[in-house]
């Protein structure tokens, strides 16, 4: 495993396992146990995923010492206020059955982010969270939050994959000491990404899968990446990326796949904000 050091000195694994859209509790527990057994030490969940309890059970069942694991969860926008954030954090802590969270993120850049952030800052100072950060924030939103608060986010978890490479955003975050972490590393399989001819050519060169090439590409860019699968063999394959290195030529070839467009809903379009707000009873 390779690690990065966050802006507060905490070490974070560069490769993690996510549980988004793995809704069945039994399946979640099984695949997280398999991921930890394989060697993953970063496990990423969220309040809104509805599987924190299953993740907590897998952590207990793994037998791996707590201090060797790096557990991330996220606060949903329904609880973006000072008081509600504290209550939601304590509920997540209870469901995970942990004494502390390694990384706690604001899941979206909407609502009362300042009130919620003040709560996270206090929980961080109390030692209940080792690092605090955000998800889906654009550079201007990140700058706004950092400029008017005491603690600079340690991590920004964003959509980032071969079709949406965000080099400028990563460069900005690097200049401010904010670690880039990707979600959607495989673009959710869209545009037949696993059979992309450029990726297939590179994968054949190293006797690897296209998924392994995509994860290795992120690792070499200094990006913390998350992968997910309910298939035990793929869980193991996606971790097996430390025994090869992409050449500069291969990295350049992957750059050509960039379209700078999301393959999901754009979190920074008005219709997306309105949709997410409607889920928590807000409207415009």
Q: How many helices (H) and strands (E) does the chain have?
A: 11, 10
Segment 261-279, tens digit of pLDDT: 888 878 788 888 888 788 7
The rounded distance, in Å, linking the Cα atoms of 170 and 168 is 5
Q: Which parts of 166-209 fold into alpha helices (H)?
A: 167-175, 197-206
Residue range 59-74: mean pLDDT, rounded: 96
| Two structure tokens written together for 228 | 């997910």
What integer pLDDT is reported at residue 148 of this predicted model? 96
What integer pLDDT is reported at residue 26 of this predicted model? 83
In this model, does residue 153 exceed pLDDT 90? yes
> Can you spell out the DSSP letters for 120-172?
HHHHHHTTSEEEEEEES--HHHHHHHHHTSSSPPSEEEEE-BTTB--HHHHHH
Domain boundaries, the chain: 10-279
Catalytic member of 3, 40, 49, 82: 49
Segment 15-50, tens digit of pLDDT: 999 998 777 888 888 899 999 999 999 999 999 999
Give the CATH number of domain 10-279.
3.20.20.100
* 104 included as an active-site residue: no
Tell the residue number behind the tokens 């961080």, with chain if given: 124
Which H or E run includes 179? strand 179-183
In this model, does residue 280 exceed pLDDT 80? no
pLDDT range class, residue 284, cuts 50, 70, 90: low
pTM: 0.94
In this model, does residue 120 exceed pLDDT 90? yes
């Amino acid at each position: 495993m390779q690690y990065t050091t966050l802006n507060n000195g905490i070490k974070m694994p560069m490769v993690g396992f996510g549980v988004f859209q793995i809704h069945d509790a039994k399946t979640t527990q099984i695949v997280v146990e398999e991921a930890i057994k394989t060697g993953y030490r970063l496990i990423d969940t969220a309040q809104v995923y509805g599987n924190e309890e299953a993740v907590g059970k897998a952590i207990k069942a793994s037998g791996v010492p707590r201090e060797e694991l790096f557990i991330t969860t996220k606060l949903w926008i329904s609880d973006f206020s000072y008081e509600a954030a504290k209550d939601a954090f304590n509920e997540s802590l209870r469901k995970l059955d942990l004494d502390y969270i390694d990384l706690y993120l604001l899941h979206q850049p909407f609502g009362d982010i300042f009130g919620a952030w003040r709560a996270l800052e206090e929980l961080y100072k109390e030692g209940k969270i080792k690092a605090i950060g955000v998800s889906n924030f654009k550079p201007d939103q990140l700058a706004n939050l950092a400029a008017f608060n005491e603690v600079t986010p340690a991590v920004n978890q964003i959509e980032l994959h071969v079709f949406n490479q965000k080099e400028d955003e990563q460069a900005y975050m690097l200049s401010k000491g904010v670690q880039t972490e990707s979600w959607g590393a495989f673009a959710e399989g869209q545009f037949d990404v696993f059979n992309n001819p450029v990726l297939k050519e590179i994968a054949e060169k190293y006797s690897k899968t296209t998924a392994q090439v995509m994860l290795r590409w992120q690792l070499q860019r200094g990006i913390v990446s998350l992968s997910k699968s309910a298939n035990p063999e793929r869980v193991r394959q996606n971790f097996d990326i430390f025994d090869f290195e992409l050449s500069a030529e291969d990295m350049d070839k992957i750059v050509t796949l960039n379209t700078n467009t999301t393959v999901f809903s754009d979190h920074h379009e008005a219709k997306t904000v309105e949709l997410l707000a409607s889920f928590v009873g807000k409207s415009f």
